[in-house]
Amino acid sequence: MVARTTDGTVLAVAPCYLKSHSRGEYVFDGGWAEAYERAGGSYYPKLQVAVPFTPATGRRLLVRAGPLADAVGRAVAGGLVELCGLVGASGVHVTFATEPEFRLLGGLGYLQRTDQQFHWENQGFASFDEFLGALAARKRKTIRRERHDALANGISVHWLTGNDLTEQVWDAFFEFYMETGSRKWGRPYLTRTFYSLVGETMRDRIVLVMAKRAGRWIAGAINFIGSRTLFGRHWGAIEHHPFLHFELCYYQAIDFAIAHKLPRVEAGAQGEHKISRGYMPTTTYSAHYIADPALRRAIADYLVRERAYVAAAGAELATLAPFRKDFVVDPE
């Protein structure tokens, strides 16, 4: 969706996707879809306003700054509702939005949903060892042991980006994705062509953290490089070694962020085990317009309870922070 002035100047853009499923979104609405369809409704298609295939937070209503920004943002939110009706969608789902967008949309009648991710915040660390120095001694010792054990079987780790991302590398990574995705998710949905396309169009914004043993690639994790954040997406492996998942997905991401002075690592959705590795609970936001009044009322009632649970769980998880008691974490 694009909002323009009468002379054609673009004031705002809201990229949308008309979807016939909910895979790859990580704001889980499968239960909503099943309930609505049991009641005789059609949940799909739906309009998704998000970055496809990755649970990355960021602006979703791309409004030009200026005195009209608030009014334009409200107009875009209303336009999405109109578009929903025009294309016969059951609703509009603005996922992993910023908190100000969450507040704006909530004030306009969108249902508000919160969830939890685990983000690593760079406190100006000069090295991984300096980061470890901020942790309690027991946590520091555990991480050092895990990193050592992950590479104990002759495994080396490589950061591949830009021209390093050859079709042969993507072949290997796709094999990892299919192997691990089939076991974890049942039906992987990204295609081999997807990786070639992102490699062609975004190669300088991607870093593959790849593990090699005995001359062949055995595992890897894909990350997207933002202006201030490293976004972890998914990983896969064809050999299984203790702690290799933690090394490629969490510790190497921290190493990369420190080396490139990135303030944050968002290591994907879910995973309370990330807390002991320095990734702290962070609230994420989404907003949902549901066209059917009956479905909207049912979901609104559910979300009241869910938001309370997410807030309570986040407060409890924050008490498990691995940092020394005298270390002050700056939330930026």
Residue 144 confidence class, pLDDT cut points 50, 70, 90: very high
The mean per-residue pLDDT over the stretch 108-122 comes to 96
pTM of this prediction exceeds 0.85: yes
Dihedral Cα 270, 276, 280, 286, nearest 10 deg: 10
- Going from the C-alpha of 253 to that of each of 45, 72, 228, 236, the distances in angstroms are 36, 37, 13, 15
The mean per-residue pLDDT over the stretch 32-56 comes to 92
Q: Specify the pLDDT at position 170.
A: 98
Strand partners, 120: 265
pLDDT above 80: residue 32: yes
- Going from the C-alpha of 323 to that of each of 76, 123, 275, the distances in angstroms are 42, 12, 10
> Taking the CA of residue 101 as centre, how many other CA atoms within 13 Å lie in the half-sphere pointing to its CB?
26
Strand partners, 118: 281
pLDDT above 90: residue 24: no
pLDDT digits (tens, 9 = 90+) for 277-320: 999 999 999 999 999 999 999 999 999 999 999 999 999 999 99
pLDDT digits (tens, 9 = 90+) for 59-96: 999 999 999 999 999 999 999 999 999 999 999 999 99
pLDDT above 90: residue 23: no
Percent of the chain beyond pLDDT 90? 87
How far does CA 233 lie from the centroid of its chain? 7
Let me know: does 222 contact 230? Beta carbons within 8 Å: no
Residue 332 confidence class, pLDDT cut points 50, 70, 90: low
pLDDT digits (tens, 9 = 90+) for 258-282: 999 999 999 877 788 899 999 999 9
- Going from the C-alpha of 255 to that of each of 32, 62, 135, 223, 263, the distances in angstroms are 39, 31, 16, 13, 12
- Going from the C-alpha of 84 to that of each of 4, 80, 97, 108, 269, the distances in angstroms are 19, 6, 19, 15, 27
The mean per-residue pLDDT over the stretch 166-190 comes to 86
pLDDT digits (tens, 9 = 90+) for 121-141: 999 999 999 999 999 999 999
Show contacts of 135-141: CB within 8 Å, 24+ apart: 135/278, 135/322, 135/323, 135/324, 135/327, 136/322, 136/323, 136/324, 136/325, 139/276, 139/322
- In angstroms, rounded to a whole number, what is the distance separating the alpha carbons of residues 248 and 251? 6
For 302, the 3-state DSSP assignment is helix
Minimal CA–CA distance to 4: which of 55, 52, 72? 72
Give ∠ CA 249-330-51 in degrees, rounded to 5: 45
Largest CA distance in the chain: 65
Domains and CATH numbers, the chain: 2-115+282-318 (3.40.630), 123-262 (3.40.630.30)
What string of DSSP letters covers 133-154? Answer: HTB-HHHHHHHHHHHHHHTTTT
Higher pLDDT, 183 or 96: 96
Residue 185 confidence class, pLDDT cut points 50, 70, 90: low
pLDDT digits (tens, 9 = 90+) for 205-235: 999 999 999 999 999 999 999 999 999 988 9
Is there a cis peptide before residue 52, judged by omega within 30 degrees of 0? no
